[in-house]
């Protein structure tokens, strides 16, 4: 019978719908924002070990084993990392795995080596929550009503990554169950800190995706009619998020000649960066979103923190804007006798998430597997999956970003965001369908 293997996998996934609902709701309740995902990773690792991924020929990479430390962006300070590590242990993070994820090393990759010739396929899901205070009103928010709203004030899964993590756990389980019928290699990537575009670069920087020929990413998306999977050709704006720390010298405001006024440097920087001339290399944006400065009415300010971001519709426009802004920051600081430190908090390249022909092919495949599909059409996303797509496509591989459509209770990142867990099954099924198709085991 046609596509028997895929049908068996899909039927198996259907039997695990309670597991998927419970797993998503538990991740939701214990929401961990970027670089905090110690408990989340330990649960994922425990699941993968129970499936046998830690035994050769399979591989389980945890923390530093699949990350480049120097390419992590926007890490919290040590005090915060220590606090969330202890909190994770208090809330049931699983040992001995939890230790591997200490100090912002919150990534897991499971590798299914079948030992038979075939393609190398990467499946990425992100796993982090946002810095959002979740709505706790049972009248208007289902997670509050059903008792799985976040117990961490200021951390909420309001972008669905709790569901994404669950999808890849289910895929890892299903592929292992049917491993004897598969060929090639599958790398299931559980990526931290997508929000703020901080985590993907460190995974790519480890080299673990260098041999991947087909890369897929996944995200929940808002269903309009009855579509189950969506396909779009995404092109990210190039993005650079930076925090700027200015240091001057405090003194009494009655004798300002004894100090170096960081407030003046900040003012010159704000005026300066918004005044960068437009250029022919592409449209661009700049925003200074927050400044923290000063200690009192009669004190010359010695410390400033500025939170800003730059975006370009082309890579060239960001490459024009960023060094220009850096020059203004450094020289405006020097002009007022201050020093400036620039810390990169996040970045994405301007690169498409999809190989167009491959996205068309994946959309057709989804239709032939019985999914109602939407697209593909052009759309702009902002996702650090772009780093993975770029690495794979520059190595001659193909990439596609898939949307799992579901009725969403509110916009992504809203305090009342929610979705229907049963739709996660479609994500897990499609990942398995795509894997078996790319292995030549499922036909259109």
Residues from 183 through 242 that contact Zn ion (CB under 5 A) = none
Question: What is the smallest separation between the CB atom of 383 and Zn ion, expressed in angstroms?
Answer: 7
- The Cα 65–Cα 327 span in angstroms is 37
Instruction: Enumerate residues 6+ apart whose C-beta is below 8 A from 433.
Output: 6, 9, 10, 365, 366, 369, 442
Q: Does 159 bind Zn ion (CB under 5 A)?
A: yes
Question: What is the smallest separation between the CB atom of 437 and Zn ion, expressed in angstroms?
Answer: 25
Structure tokens at 294: 């000063």
Q: Does 129 bind Zn ion (CB under 5 A)?
A: no
Q: Does 127 bind Zn ion (CB under 5 A)?
A: no
Q: What is the DSSP string of 298-363?
A: TB---EEEEEEEEEESSHHHHHHHHHHHHHHHHHHHHHTT-EEEEEEEEEE-S-BS--HHHHHHHH
Decide whether 39 or 124 has the Cβ nearer to Zn ion: 124
Instruction: Enumerate residues 6+ apart whose C-beta is below 8 A from 210.
Output: 391, 395
Decide whether 122 or 259 has the Cβ nearer to Zn ion: 122
Tell the burial category of 394 from Cβ atoms under 10 Å away from its Cβ (0-12, 13-18, 19+).
exposed
Instruction: Single out the segment in contact with Zn ion by CB under 5 A; choices: 48-56, 84-92, 152-160, 356-364.
Output: 152-160
Instruction: Single out the segment in contact with Zn ion by CB under 5 A; choices: 30-38, 78-86, 151-159, 321-329.
Output: 151-159
C-alpha 293: how far from its chain's center? 31
Question: What is the smallest separation between the CB atom of 171 and Zn ion, expressed in angstroms?
Answer: 18
Decide whether 114 or 158 has the Cβ nearer to Zn ion: 158
Instruction: Enumerate residues 6+ apart whose C-beta is below 8 A from 323.
Output: none
Decide whether 159 or 310 has the Cβ nearer to Zn ion: 159
Instruction: Enumerate residues 6+ apart whose C-beta is below 8 A from 320.
Output: 279, 281, 284, 312
DSSP structural state of residue 146: T
Question: What is the smallest separation between the CB atom of 131 and Zn ion, expressed in angstroms?
Answer: 11
The CB-nearest residue to Zn ion is 159
Asked if 337 and 258 count as a contact pair (C-beta separation under 8 A), the reply is no
Instruction: Single out the segment in contact with Zn ion by CB under 5 A; choices: 156-164, 295-303, 339-347, 372-380.
Output: 156-164
Instruction: Single out the segment in contact with Zn ion by CB under 5 A; choices: 8-16, 43-51, 101-109, 158-166.
Output: 158-166
Question: What is the smallest separation between the CB atom of 412 and Zn ion, expressed in angstroms?
Answer: 5
Q: Residue 42: enclosing H or E segment and its boundaries?
A: helix 38-51
- The Cα 161–Cα 191 span in angstroms is 10
Residue span 80-119 as binding mask against Zn ion, x where in contact by CB under 5 A, dash where not: ----------------------------------------
Decide whether 159 or 262 has the Cβ nearer to Zn ion: 159
Instruction: Single out the segment in contact with Zn ion by CB under 5 A; choices: 154-162, 274-282, 341-349, 367-375.
Output: 154-162
Could you list the residues that contact Zn ion (CB under 5 A)? 159
């Amino acid at each position: 019978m046609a596509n028997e293997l895929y049908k068996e996998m899909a039927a198996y996934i259907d039997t695990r719908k309670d597991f998927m609902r419970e797993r998503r709701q538990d991740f939701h309740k214990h929401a961990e924002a970027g670089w905090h995902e110690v408990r989340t990773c330990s649960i994922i690792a425990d699941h993968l070990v129970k499936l046998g991924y830690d035994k050769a020929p399979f591989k389980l990479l945890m923390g530093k084993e699949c990350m480049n430390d120097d390419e992590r962006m926007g890490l919290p300070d040590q005090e915060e990392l220590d606090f969330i590590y202890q909190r994770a242990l208090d809330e049931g993070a699983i040992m001995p795995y939890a230790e591997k994820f200490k100090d912002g090393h919150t990534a897991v990759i499971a590798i299914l080596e079948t030992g038979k010739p075939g393609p190398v396929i990467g499946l990425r899901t992100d796993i982090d929550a946002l810095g959002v205070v979740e709505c706790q009103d049972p009248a208007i928010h289902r997670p509050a009503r059903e008792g799985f709203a976040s117990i961490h004030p200021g951390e909420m899964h309001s972008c669905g990554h709790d569901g994404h993590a669950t999808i890849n756990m289910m895929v890892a389980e299903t592929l292992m169950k049917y491993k004897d019928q598969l060929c090639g290699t599958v790398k299931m990537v559980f990526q931290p800190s997508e929000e703020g575009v901080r985590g993907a670069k460190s995974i790519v920087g480890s080299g673990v995706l260098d041999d991947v020929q087909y890369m897929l990413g996944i995200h929940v998306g808002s269903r309009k009619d009855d579509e189950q999977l969506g396909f779009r050709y995404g092109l990210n704006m190039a993005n650079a998020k930076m925090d700027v720390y200015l240091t001057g010298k405090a003194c009494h405001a009655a004798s300002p000649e004894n100090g170096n006024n960081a407030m003046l440097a900040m003012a010159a920087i704000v005026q300066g960066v918004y005044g960068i001339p437009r250029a022919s290399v592409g449209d661009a944006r700049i925003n200074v979103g927050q400044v923290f400065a000063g200690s009192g009415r009669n004190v010359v300010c010695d410390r400033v923190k500025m939170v800003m971001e730059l975006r370009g519709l082309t890579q060239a426009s960001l490459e024009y804007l960023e060094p220009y802004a850096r020059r203004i920051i450094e020289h405006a600081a020097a002009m007022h006798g201050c020093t400036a430190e620039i810390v990169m908090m996040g970045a994405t390249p301007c690169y498409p998430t999809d190989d167009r022909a491959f996205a068309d092919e994946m959309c057709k495949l989804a239709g032939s597997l019985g999914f109602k599909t939407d697209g593909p059409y052009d759309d702009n996303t902002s996702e650090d999956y772009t780093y993975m797509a770029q690495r794979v496509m520059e190595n001659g591989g193909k990439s596609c970003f898939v949307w799992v459509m579901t009725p969403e209770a509110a916009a992504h990142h809203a305090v009342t965001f929610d979705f229907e867990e049963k739709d996660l099954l479609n994500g897990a099924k499609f990942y398995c369908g795509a894997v078996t198709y790319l292995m030549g085991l499922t036909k259109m």
